[in-house]
Amino acid sequence: MKKLITIECEPTTYEDCSKNLLNAIKNKYWVHLLPKISNQLLLDSSVLPKGPGLIISSGGSAGGPHLCLHPCSNLDQSAIATGRWLKSQNIEPQSCRILNPLPMHHVSGLMPWWRSRNWGAEHKWILPSLMKDPIALEKSCRKFCQGEGNPLIISLVPIQLKRLLDHPAGIRWLQDFEVVWIGGTHLPEKWALLAREEGIKLAPCYGATETTAMVTALAPHSFLAGQTGCGSPLEDVELCLNKDGALKIKTTRIARARIKHGHLEQLLDTKGWWQTEDAAELTLNNSLQSLVIIGRMDTAIHSGGETIFPESLELRLIEAASAAEIPIEKFLLLPVDNQDWGERLVALVRLKSEDISSQATQSLIALKELVKEWQPAERPFAWYLCNELETSATGKWDRSRWREWLKQKI
């Protein structure tokens, strides 16, 4: 009997996709979710354990594409843990109405739908195009959003949040939600401050494809009170740091394995921990662990004897540029080899203005002025304008793509 089938997940057909997925699970298949069938990696079905389960692409960029194998029990356990977190916020999961604007082939979009099944809650897919048009979004969701005593919840990535915060209709729409989980990448402090000012109940969280979505979450009331970070572990999760400061996670819903180059790769060490690629800090807040992500271990560089996390520097400069009214749209730091330093940072910049040439020189001079007090190893030694610079649909950088771009410029 065939063990593996693929399901193409296009936003306009998510309802049909979900029905096909349920039928495949009923028949004990492993299901590979893809945005397009043409993207399918060749998999040897003989390496798969007994189904049913789902094969989900990881959003990580390190080491090439990773496919995570999750038995359906992992998805159930994640939904149960998230539901219990909601109950700790005095929200009954079954009464929730879930709006879902994230891709079904990613764990971030798959899990809201799966939670709705597990909880018996209402669920509605939202087309990605609507997330870019707050007025149309507000009108489209009006009927679903009506109803006293039935809390609205949603999961967003920061770029979606930013687009909504930029428009009065988007702010009004967000204010109706009881919980807005925000994850996938760092939440800039400027956007967090605006959300607090507007009373938007954000719940910054942390998770991965390997962990079947979120493993920590910050309570909305704590966010509104000014607390930062990704919150505390859900009830089925333990956290610790290794000697280098990398985050380690223990939970029984870690992926059964990852598929890389057609082969299964185990994730857990002998004590049941999975080591992430994220550098982190763990503190105690009212006797509970609180998680702060510093940056990616796999993108950290060693420059002049210092360990540098480019992501934290990117955020630092973007926030400083915003305060100085320098029109940055996107900013990315990449390492290049250097004989004296080991590695040095190079900056790629995309400006907001369409007329790049008229203000490029002035803007770059202003940016260099902003970093002149930084430590030498932190300061980019070269700056490049890159008009096409962009993140993925989930707000993450494909750094290998931009390293290739940079090679053509150096």
pLDDT tens, residue by residue, 279-332: 999 998 788 899 999 888 878 887 877 778 888 888 889 888 888 888 888 899
In a domain, 63, yes or no: no
* CA atoms within a 13 Å half-sphere pointing along the CA-CB vector of 88: 16
Question: What is the mean pLDDT of the segment spanning 150-156?
Answer: 96
Question: What is the mean pLDDT of the segment spanning 141-168?
Answer: 89
Does the global pTM surpass 0.85? no
pLDDT tens, residue by residue, 96-129: 999 999 999 999 999 999 999 999 999 999 998 8
Q: Are residues 144 and 177 in the same domain?
A: yes
The strand pairing partners of 247, in sequence order, are: 241
Domain residue limits at 389: 301-407
Residue 2's pLDDT is 58
pLDDT tens, residue by residue, 166-185: 999 999 999 999 999 999 77
Q: What angle do CA 119, 48, 38 make, to 5 degrees?
A: 85
- 29 within 8 A of 50, measured Cβ to Cβ: no
201: domain CATH number is: 3.40.50.12780
In a domain, 306, yes or no: yes
Q: pLDDT confidence of 408, banded at 50, 70, 90? A: confident
pLDDT tens, residue by residue, 262-287: 678 899 999 999 999 899 999 987 88
> Amino acid letter at 292?
V
> Amino acid letter at 288?
L
Number of folded domains in the chain? 2
Q: Are residues 284 and 345 in the same domain?
A: no
Q: Output the six-digit token pair for 58.
A: 């990881």
Residue 44's pLDDT is 67
In a domain, 35, yes or no: no
